[in-house]
């Protein structure tokens, strides 16, 4: 061992190797630090990339949620419109039913008011109409007061208007137990109108 240490050439080699090792140590340490920094940069970059990707999907999800909310609002409005339309249809249906019932009631009422002259009574009615035509209005009114409306209307329908007018005028001036006969004149006039309208419709 002493001989080895006394050998100048070997000592020079050892010194050279020690110098090289001493020079390489900072380089190795710097390399380790560089590698650590590279690894740290990669971790940070990965985290940033992951964070960016999550932000992107968060925006997409928010947009999708907004669209779904808007669609739900549109469907809700459409449902309300459909409900309102159904309510209007129900109301219109009820109004139509009321109108139909009203028309039916009017038809029945008119049917009750309209007087029909049977064929077998036409001859007798014509004879009575001719008789009342020859009477004075006052005398005719005295007889009419004792008759029912339907019979009076049948007789009046066979008389001329210029004969009926004085009779109605006399009735409007005549008092009855219920007052003037003017109200009955109105009733007889309406029934006479309906009778003539029915006769015209049947002849057309």
In terms of Cα–Cα distance, which of 109, 108, 90, 174 is closest to 137? 174
Of 194, 170, 190, nearest to 182 (Cα)?
170
Dig out the tokens for 5 from the structure.
């240490």
pLDDT at residue number 73: 86
Which residue shows structure tokens 């249809």? 89
**Structure confidence by residue, pLDDT tens digits, 8-32:** 666 555 666 666 655 655 665 666 6
User: Where residue 44 falls among pLDDT bands split at 50, 70, 90?
Assistant: low
Q: At 143, list the tokens.
A: 């007889």
Higher pLDDT, 200 or 195: 195
pLDDT at position 181, please?
Answer: 79
> What pLDDT score does 54 carry?
47
d(CA 156, CA 132): 9
> By mean pLDDT, which of 2-11, 149-158, 180-189 is the weakest?
2-11
pLDDT score, position 1 = 52
pLDDT of residue 37: 75
The count of other CB atoms within 10 Å of the CB of residue 154 is 23
Residues 121-144: pLDDT tens digits? Answer: 788 888 889 999 999 999 999 998
Q: What tens digit of pLDDT does each residue of 65-90 get?
A: 888 888 888 888 888 888 888 888 88
For 19, the enclosing helix (H) or strand (E) is: helix 8-113
Residue 138 contacts residue 103 (beta carbons within 8 Å): no
Range 170-179 average pLDDT: 78
> What is the reported pTM?
0.41
Q: Looking at the predicted structure, is the pLDDT value of residue 34 above 50?
A: yes
Give the C-alpha separation, 44 to 146, whole Å: 120
pLDDT at 179 over 80: no
């Amino acid at each position: 061992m002493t001989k080895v240490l006394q050998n100048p050439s070997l000592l020079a080699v050892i010194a050279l190797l020690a110098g090289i090792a001493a020079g390489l140590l900072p380089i190795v340490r710097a390399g380790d630090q560089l590698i650590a920094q590279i690894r740290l940069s990669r971790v940070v970059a990965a985290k940033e990339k992951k964070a960016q990707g999550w932000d992107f999907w968060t925006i997409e999800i928010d947009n999708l949620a907004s669209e779904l909310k808007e669609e739900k609002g549109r469907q809700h409005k459409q449902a309300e419109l459909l409900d309102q339309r159904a309510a209007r249809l129900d109301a219109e249906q009820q109004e139509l039913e009321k109108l139909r019932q009203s028309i039916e009631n009017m038809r029945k009422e008119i049917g009750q008011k309209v007087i029909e002259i049977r064929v077998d009574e036409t001859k007798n009615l014509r004879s009575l109409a001719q008789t009342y035509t020859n009477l004075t209005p006052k005398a005719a009114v005295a007889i009419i007061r004792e008759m029912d409306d339907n019979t009076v209307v049948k007789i009046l329908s066979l008389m001329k208007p210029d004969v009926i007018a004085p009779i109605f005028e006399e009735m409007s001036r005549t008092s009855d137990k219920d007052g003037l006969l003017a109200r009955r004149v109105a009733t007889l006039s309406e029934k006479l109108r309906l009778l003539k309208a029915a006769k015209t419709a049947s002849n057309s």
